[in-house]
Structure 1
């Protein structure tokens, strides 16, 4: 899968890996599996932070789709007997409003070159090649690192002889790889399901809705292909999926689906309470109080009328005149 015209990207990824690994090596042995696991996870997080602007663009597009929901609802009523015309008019409204129903694909497309680069760099390490600016010392430390007893560059189909050469047990290695592949498949399915469910609910008459549903159920089959991936690459993919799940949940919980009333107006639902409001409900309620709310009126004291006491003479006890 190595493409010569992407060598600059391979070298960039290999350089970042070397920097991160050197940083962790200051307090973790360089050939330790924890060191390399943290290196791959950190690289994944940095990559996702790099493409975060694309995620913001995706959020803006989703917000515009919510604002255009009343127009889309009118078009669905108007052309309910003509699906083709309805889809054309709906797509026209989205284009004029600057909304992109496929905007959620941007982060996936952006991270694909990084995925290819990781695959190529790990493949070079598995083949014991100091390519793309990597030193032989870095390659040796990666080949010696084990995660739960499985070598970083090993795949499910790596021969037992090669696994033994990497200092690991072939049976344990295949079990660990099988578990990682299952986790990769499950997180891939959950990530796609979360996105497709939201997309279909937002645009039920999307002409690509059926294809999205098919993609959602085919995504677990990705595990079949990941059996050919190195353990380090599968760890990268699992980390990416977990990040995407958390990021999408954070966005969807704060931007619920809009509700359209009988007049066709968009009623913005209240976002779900966050962790702070669940821990400190009193503080959250105080934050929700309107700023310009009038202060409560002070309670009026009830003054009881007491009878006036008449002064009496100390000697006779009679009232003074």
Structure 2
């Protein structure tokens, strides 16, 4: 276990410093007008930590959205490969991976934000747990701050280090933990449901990618619900805030930049048409230009030729009746 402990310490130590710098920074700022020892100050510091981390992960989230969109758009090609190479699993796997590579698609990109947050989540868990049990300092979190962090209470009676399973009969802890676990589970489910119902075309709702999304739809909330009852109140605030950020961020992207052929795209078109109508102008609709009528060359009108008898009757003057060049021929 010694070598594994050394490896774990090597990985976690940089995270302890990053998390403690942000956490202590927010705590110092909030302490200028809030109680430094209060649970609300530490909880808001955790919320601030969450927002900083999620802001830093925005480029990864954008990559995730692009990869998810590519996965949706290439589903017809994946189905063609399945029909063509369904009898040869190795060939099918090779051609599918080649398709992913050619289109710049990563089928596991939707899990990347969660996977990258897990070490941060674990570091915060250990930071709070060890501060509460041993007043142990990590990073820039001093022993004095660690002690205050571990003893902080919300509403004067709910320690942020306690969990639902270890509430020691504290009803406030159990109620608040249950609310946060339900919120964490619900936001996870709604975020995944929003993606499948609004931003996936009909032909992408079947096949391997759809099965992966359906699996995440039901598995992730169960994992969070089961694990959440063992998380401290402070850690539950981190994860619930992170889920709310994810849901809002995804809503914004789907609303303003939906995938082609999805209900979200049709909804955006309807909003754009309604907005144009409210402004007093017609909705912008592309109409093919009408072909111009064929123009015939102008013909020069000339007087008709007269016979000798007609000229005698008219006194040698031509009549005013004109004729076209076609009549002359």
Judge same fold: TM > 0.5, yes or no: yes
Tell me, in whole angstroms, the C-alpha distance in 1 between the residues paired with 2:23 and 2:49: 7
Answering whether residue 175 of structure 2 is matched by residue 175 of structure 1, we say: yes
1:58 aligns to what SS in structure 2?
Answer: helix
Whether the 8 Å contact between 2:154 and 2:160 is mirrored in structure 1 is: yes
Note the 1:230-245 alignment, pairs <5 A.
230-245=232-247
Superimposed CA distance per residue, residues 18-53 of structure 1 (whole angstroms, 9 cap, x where no aligned partner): 111001111111122321221111110100111111
Give the superposition deviation at 1:199: 6.2
Within the candidate set 99, 106, 115, 1:100 is matched to 106
Q: 2:42 aligns with which of 36, 45, 48?
A: 36
Tell me the CA shift for residue 10 of structure 1. 1.3
Q: In the alignment, does 2:224 pair up with 1:217?
A: no
| Structure with the largest fraction of helix | 2
Whole-Å separation in 1 of the counterparts to 2:213 and 2:13: 34
Encode CA deviations 1:151-208: one digit per residue, 9 max, x unaligned.
Answer: 1111123262xxxxxxxx7122222222222222222222343345556857345435
How far the C-alpha of 1:145 sits from its partner, in A, is 2.8
Does the Cα contact within 8 Å between 1:200 and 1:206 map onto a contact in 2? Answer: no
Question: For the residues of structure 2 that align with 1:118 and 1:274, how far apart are their CA atoms?
Answer: 44
CA spacing shift, 1:33–1:278, aligned 2, 3 Å: farther
| Stretches of structure 1 lacking an aligned partner (at least 5 in a row) | 161-168, 261-267, 291-321
Residue in structure 2 matched with residue 253 of structure 1 by the alignment: 255
Q: Distance in 1 between matches of 2:49 and 2:270?
A: 28
SS of aligned partner of 1:259: coil
Displacement of 1:127 in angstroms is 0.8
Measured in 1, the distance between the counterparts of 2:166 and 2:93 equals 49
Question: Are 2:135 and 1:129 aligned?
Answer: yes
Tell me the distance in 1 between the aligned counterparts of 2:147 and 2:273.
49
* Offset at residue 11 of structure 1 (A): 2.5
Distance 1:37 1:20 in 2: 10
Gaps of 5+ in 2: 286-329
TM-score for the superposition, normalised by structure 1: 0.70
- Please tell me whether Structure 1 or Structure 2 has the larger radius of gyration of its CA atoms: 2
Count of matched residue positions in the alignment of Structure 1 and Structure 2 = 275
Label 1:281 to 1:154 Cα distance change in 2 as closer, same or farther (>3 A): farther
State the partner residue of 1:147: 154
Q: CA 1:209/1:87 → structure 2, altered by over 3 Å: closer, same or farther?
A: farther
Shift in Å, 1:16: 1.6
Q: Helix, strand or coil for the counterpart of 2:268?
A: coil
Contact 2:273 2:283 survives alignment (8 Å): no
* Cα distance in 2 between the residues matched to 1:281 and 1:125: 60
Structure 1 residue 56, shift from structure 2 partner: 1.7
SS at match of 1:127: helix
CA distance in 1, matches of 2:88, 2:24: 54
Label 1:143 to 1:273 Cα distance change in 2 as closer, same or farther (>3 A): farther
2:152–2:159 Cα contact (<8 Å) kept? yes
